[in-house]
Each structure stands twice: as C-alpha cells, then as structure tokens.
A and B are shown apart, each in its own frame.
Chain A
C-alpha cells in the first residue's frame, strides 16, 4: 500500500500539496485529476521518491520513500525520458539493466502490440510513438506500483486508444496498483476504479467511478460540479 499522511510540499513558498492524506491499494486503477498546477504531478513525484515531503510522510509498503523506492515503483515521467540517440531496442536493453524486475519477454510483447520496431532510432520516432515507447518500458516492469504522469498528454486519439488498451492488457491487477494523472478523463474513465479530484494542492473528493455514475453523471461532470460552476474545469 502507498500511504500519504498529512503530506505538504512547498516549492519556494508555493504550496504544491497541502495536508494531503490518501491510501492506494493494489488491485485498483486510480486516476488523479485536476487542472494544471493542482498538485497532480507533485503527488506522483513524492510517491516515486523523486521529491521529499516538506511535512508529513509518504510510505510504500511501510517504507519511507527515497530514490531507492524505484525498486518497487515504476514511474513514468511526463517528459521524454528515453535518450534520443538510442534505438528502440537499445532503450529496452538499457531499461533492463536498470531494473531487476524488468521483464524482457513482456517488453517485446508490448513493443509488438504498440507496433514499434527495435531498429528505429528514438529521435526519428513520432511523438505518439515516443509516448508508446516510454509506456512500454514502464509497463514491462513487474513492479507492484506503477505511476504514470499524464500518459496521454499531447497525443492523438488513436495513440491514446492504443495506450489505454496496452494498459488493460499489460497491467496485472492481482499484483499491481496503477495510478495515473490525467487531463484526458473521457478516454481513461472506463479503466478507472477510483478517481481523486485535486485542486490547489488539496483533495476535493475521492470516489469510485461506479459510485459517481450511479448518481447519473460521468467523471467529467462530477469534476465540473465539485470544481464549482464559477471556475469551470474546461476539460
């Protein structure tokens, strides 16, 4: 389980997260949604051990997070993370040397599913294929916790769709938790169990997708409602 307890994170006086407490358990896909600058990415970076909380604690399987937590946490950054001078095959080789839980067979399968050729140079890949590649490298790990920061950002609908299908195909919810931050709620809603709305560093609401829909609205409408009519969410 990932446990954030009264976590605050400030950057030069700006509060990115403000007294946040959440638990994430295995077996679930959770979406963290909210506007730009709401604290979505910061919360993932805290869980990935890339930044430290200013206050409170972040525990994963009861262990405080630090850089070593990458042993059990697969984190996909919003930025390009694969060196451009690698080929697809070389980036796979490199990733397999970095993480003992990297599953080569699964990686090959994901590459095939995503229709990526191992001989292609990363710098010659389209933006969509770079998105597919970093997702393939992340999902190829048998890590109990997978964190994806804005996996759909700037990608066209076809690429988003193939990434959604890849997620469903290659996540093992008996052993893994999947946490995704996103703006593209509509695409991802069918694969979420739970959704957390965050704004100005605070959690506004935490709900199951079924629970939201039983009240007769989808997640976008739910988010618009709790964000308040005055300052629409604009998804």
Chain B
C-alpha cells in the first residue's frame, strides 16, 4: 500500500504519526518487531533514508528500540506507551477543539455534543 501523504508536513513526521497510532490502537503490540527499514520503505513507497529517520525518531522518543542485528521493536516500557496514548489524546483533542472553535462552537456545546454522542454510542 502506497500512502497518500499530506502536502504540508515532512513525510517522516507523517510516518511517525502513523506508527504511533498503530501502536496506541494495539495493531502493533509492545515487543512487536517492526518491518525492516527497506521493507517498510518499499511497502509505503518512501525513500529508505526517510524511513530510517522515522525509526531513529521513534527510538529517541522511547517508543521503539533497535537491537543489534535483530531489528527494531516496539518498546515494552508500558509506562512510556501509556504516556504516548495520553499524548495522542491531548493532541487530537486539541485539534478537535480548535476546529470547533473556528466554527464558533463553545466548549460547553462541545461537551454537550460529546455526551449525546456517548449516549448514542452505548
């Protein structure tokens, strides 16, 4: 699958977001091996340099670790992963709130809508 990238953001950042989402969602579990840089670059249609930058950033963020000669793995540090989950929550909520504010909705209106949404959900 080749990915359609957003136009206004470095590709490695979009790959970071994508992998982080997959980890938070549980599609990639703690200790799972990530595809090799080359394989994942081919799969997503990006430059291997970009993919290796993505993996390095994941390591710096403490979300993945590279084991010599074995490859790159999702961290087993559950605390860090919980923190990542919270970071994603904050980030996506902030972006939701700012878009709603742009449309002129108040926080109270948002909360009300969310409650209704929850009732509809359950």
Docked pose: A14 CA to B41 CA in angstroms: 42
Counting CB contacts under 8 A, is B50 at the interface?
Answer: yes
Contact residues of A: prevailing secondary structure: helix
Docked pose: A165 CA to B2 CA in angstroms: 9
The interface-forming segment of B8-16, B19-27, B71-79, B97-105 is B8-16
Counting CB contacts under 8 A, is A169 at the interface?
Answer: yes
Docked pose: A229 CA to B30 CA in angstroms: 50
Docked pose: A171 CA to B7 CA in angstroms: 25
Contacts of B46 in A (CB 8 A): 168, 190-191
Which chain A residues in 189-210 approach chain B with CB under 8 Å? 189-193, 209-210
Q: A168-B41, A168-B42, A190-B5 are in contact. Are A214 and B47 (CB under 8 A)?
A: no
Counting CB contacts under 8 A, is B31 at the interface?
Answer: no
Q: A161-B2, A190-B5, A190-B50 are in contact. Are A209 and B11 (CB under 8 A)?
A: yes
A221 & B7 in contact (Cβ 8 Å cutoff): yes
Q: Looking at the assembled complex, report how far the CB atom of B67 sits from the nearest CB atom of chain A, in whole angstroms.
A: 20
Counting CB contacts under 8 A, is A217 at the interface?
Answer: yes
Docked pose: A189 CA to B42 CA in angstroms: 14
